[in-house]
Structures are given as C-alpha cells and as structure tokens.
Amino acid sequence: MYSNRRRFLGMALATAAFATVGAAAASAATVEEIKAKGTIVVGIQGDNAPWGFVDSSGKQDGFDADVATLFARELGVKVQFQPLAVANRIPALTTGKVDILFATMAMTEERAKSIQYSKPYAANTISLYAAKADTAKTPADVAGWEIGVPKSSSQDKAITDAVGSTATVRRFDDDASTIQALVSGQVKAVGGNMFYGQRLDAASAGTYERKIDFLTTYNGVGTRLGEKDWNEAVNAFLDKIKANGELAAITKKWMKIDLPTFPESIPNIPFTVK
C-alpha cells in the first residue's frame, strides 16, 4: 500500500524538518496565544503508516493527521505539521519546538514523567514479526535472536522487557529502518505495531507473519507537564469527537476497525492536570 519511496521520503523529511525547526528559537505558547497566532505546530510521525506518514506529494497524512486537523479546526487555527523521528518526539515538545504531539504516543509510566497525556484516543497491539519459516510461539523461542525495534518506542520497551535478557535487541532510528533491517537480513525479527504485517507484506509478499503478541497499548495526545489549558482543551475535544462519531469514522478509515473501548484510567498515568 505504501511504497519504499514514500517511507524513505517520510524518514528524510522527519530528520531534515526537525533539524530546521531546531535552528529556530521556539518557545512554549498557551492555547490563547496559539489562537491569536492563528497556527498550531503539531509534532507527528512522518514514516509510520497509517498512523502518520508523508505521501508521495509531500503532504502529511494518516490517522493522527486527520485527528490533529480536526483539533486545529476546533481551535479555529491552521495546522502546521512537523514530522518527527520516534526519539525526537518528546524533546521537540518539551523544548517548545512543537505545540502538541499527535505522534503515535503510546502511554507509558516513563513517558508520563516527561509529558502530560490526554485521555486515550487510539489503541495499538505490540507484536513480534519474523519469517514464516522461523518458529516462535513463546518468548523462550527467540533466545539468541537479534530483534530490531525503533529506539525509544513502545516496541523497544515491550520487546526489551519480554526478551531483552535472552535475545539481542537492536535499536534503529524509526519504523521504516526497523522494517528494512528485517527485510535486508540485519535482524531475525522485529517488534512492531499492528500495521507492521501490512508493511512487511508490501516489502516482501508472503514472507513474514506475526508471531507473538506482547501487549495492547493506548495512545494519548502529548502536551507539556503542568499546562492545564492545553490538557483541558485536548480532553474536551476528544470527548466531543468520541461522542459525535468523528473519531470512530477516522478509526474506521485508517485502521479498518471499530472504535476501541478505552480505559477510564491507567495506573500512574494521569489523563488530567490537577
């Protein structure tokens, strides 16, 4: 569905764009300041279809792009997307280089120490993918394997926690390079989200399959710690699009699934600023 050209374009733009934005003297802005400015800068993934990716015309597209565009409309402003690599997402937010993250941000206790999460608005399953010819039904079966993951991602944590003591975890810059590492034989398996199967099949039809499911994660919108105005604005927006069916429609469009049932709370991950 998505060509190698698109994946590599997204990867290149994510790196170049972050370098460009880093050269600017950006600072954190309030919701009201953004409304007055008329543009919101949204940090998003540029290489992780269908969550966030740059299409062949150079336009940011995907699930998160659609949700973020609705949020900008809710604020009455234009949206400017800033494609980011996995490891750059939180630094871009905390240093004020982006205003907010709609960037496939799986909700983890560790990340909740650095950013404020919204209520969850998407779900994701983290799994092990490998060649059909290789047997892997339990974590014990992958002892001694080299397994690729995007560094600082939810896959990184899930795979490291599950098999990091018996397998070698190799970390790559992003999802595209992790997938390429498996296809090119650099690793024996990868830890991926629920769409890795489609992307691997596009790269080498019929070669790979999902082996082991490790956990289901939930994605939240990322804002800076203590910024109650942003947190309240995002949560009110998410409540609205959950109630009016817009989030369900976007989920069906990109994920081909019904809107998941989201938890009311997750231990040690607050959804609101007190």
**CA separation for the pair 274, 25 (Å, rounded):** 30
Report the first-to-last Cα separation within the chain, whole angstroms. Answer: 43
Q: What is the pTM assigned to this prediction?
A: 0.80
Q: What is the pLDDT along the chain (274 residues), one digit of tens a residue?
A: 444 444 444 444 444 444 444 433 356 899 999 999 999 999 999 888 999 999 999 999 999 999 999 999 999 999 999 999 888 999 999 999 999 999 999 999 999 999 999 999 999 999 999 999 999 999 999 999 999 999 989 899 999 999 999 999 999 999 999 999 999 999 999 999 999 999 999 999 999 999 999 999 999 999 999 999 999 999 999 999 999 999 999 999 999 999 999 999 999 999 999 8
Q: Is 232 exposed, middle or buried (0-12, 13-18, 19+ CB in 10 A)?
A: middle
pLDDT value of residue 146: 98
pLDDT value of residue 274: 87
pLDDT value of residue 86: 87
**CA separation for the pair 213, 199 (Å, rounded):** 17
Q: What are phi and psi of 27, to 5 degrees?
A: -145, 160
Provide the token pair at 16: 């170049």
Task: Identify the bridge partners of residue 220 per DSSP, sorted by sequence position.
Answer: 120
DSSP line for 91-159: HHHHTTSSSEE-S--B--TTGGGTEEEEEEEEEEEEEEEEETTS--SSGGGGTT-EEEEETTSHHHHHH
Q: Which helix (H) or strand (E) holds 32?
A: helix 31-37
